[in-house]
Amino acid sequence: MLNYLWAFMLLAGILWAAFHGTMAQVTQGALDAAGEAVSLCITMTGVLSLWSGILEIGRQSGLLDQLADRMNPILRFLFPRLPANHPAGKAMAVNMIANLLGLGWAATPAGLQAMKELKQLEEERRAGIFPGPAAAPDTASREMCTFLIINISSLQLIPINMIAYRSQYGSANPAAITGPALLATAVSTAAAVVFCRLMEFRRE
């Protein structure tokens, strides 16, 4: 759907420029935007590499494991049906920690791993290895839905990516977004937690 939407907007812009005689400006704008896109990609690659490296250092030093253990009470509250010490719990904890630092790209591998583990958990529930009702095949489980909602709401203490974007485009104070971003994501995450818990109570 998004592909069609972008194609429509591009075609509409080109037709508008053709009818108004501004094709030269459109061409120049496309070239300028392409150059900015390459520059932005290089900048964000550096930022992502730096923080992904820091996360890897944290993983190898055992710091991420300790932080994941500290998040067990939160995970038990959000995912009451998740078996204790299940591999999905650690993957979700790492994903949430990365999101707290505003590293959405670095959080993606852990998020994908969490979804893979949660899918395996549902298969084990259907096989009777773990107790409790299981979701139908090819259907998202309760834990999957909750994790996705929490992941999308994404509480961010330090919006690293947004700060990098603002710096790239010449902001006088790139870190000024920190306070508003923290407030906005705190509200969105609180709404997500309330919604997930209400849905969990309705299912019980």
The candidate with the shortest Cα–Cα distance to 166, out of 156, 180, 157, 177, is 177
Q: Which residues contact 192 (CB under 8 A, 6 or more apart)?
A: 149, 150, 152, 153
Span between the terminal Cα atoms of the chain, in Å: 36
Inform me whether the pLDDT recorded for 5 exceeds 80: yes
| Tens digits of residue pLDDT in 158-170 | 887 788 778 877 8
What pLDDT score was predicted for residue 187? Answer: 92
Higher pLDDT, 62 or 5: 5
Mean pLDDT of the residues in the chain: 83
**Can you tell me the distance from the alpha carbon of 99 to that of 105, in angstroms, rounded to the nearest whole number?**
9
Nearest to 198 by CA among 122, 146, 127, 140: 146
Give the list of residues 6+ apart from residue 153 with CB closer than 8 angstroms, or none: 185, 188, 189, 191, 192
If one compares 5 and 41, the residue with the highest pLDDT of the two is 5
48/54 Cα distance (integer angstroms): 10
Which residues in 150-174 are b (16+ Cβ under 10 Å) and which e?
Answer: bbebbbbebbbbbbbbbebeeeeeb
147 confidence band (pLDDT: 50, 70, 90): very high
Task: Tell me the CB-side half-sphere exposure of residue 162, using CA atoms within 13 A.
Answer: 16
Q: Are 118 and 88 in contact (CB under 8 A)?
A: yes
**pLDDT tens digits along 182-193:** 899 899 999 998
According to the model, what pLDDT value does residue 203 have? 66
